Amino acid sequence: MKISSFFIGLVFSLSAFAAKVEVDVSGMTCGMCVEAITRELKATNKAENISVSLEDKKARFSDLKDLKLTDAEIKTAIKKAGYEAVKIRRN
């Protein structure tokens, strides 16, 4: 009981510091692109609520303050998938 409430508290406190990140991606043409980008962002283990939009050519996700994804890490992940992160916005 105590342990589970500790983990709930931990998850809540980490989520409270999540920053929303929006990345403009160039080179996306189809659903495979969306899957590849989603997979590489997931593989960083630092991105939550990943949503990649082919229409907007954007990848959106939340990162955790304690496990912050740097711009360089985002660019590397997108590049690994075969695309380019042209602009990164945080709020």
Q: Cα–Cα distance between 87 and 35 in angstroms, integer? A: 20
Binding flag, residue 86, Cu ion (CB under 5 A): no
Binding flag, residue 32, Cu ion (CB under 5 A): yes
Q: Based on CB atoms, which residue is closest to Cu ion, 32 or 86?
A: 32
Cβ-Cβ contacts under 8 Å for 54 (sequence gap 6 or more): 28, 29, 30, 31, 33, 34
Binding flag, residue 53, Cu ion (CB under 5 A): no
Q: Which of 13, 15, 26, 29 binds Cu ion (CB under 5 A)?
A: 29
Binding site for Cu ion (CB under 5 A): 29-30, 32-33
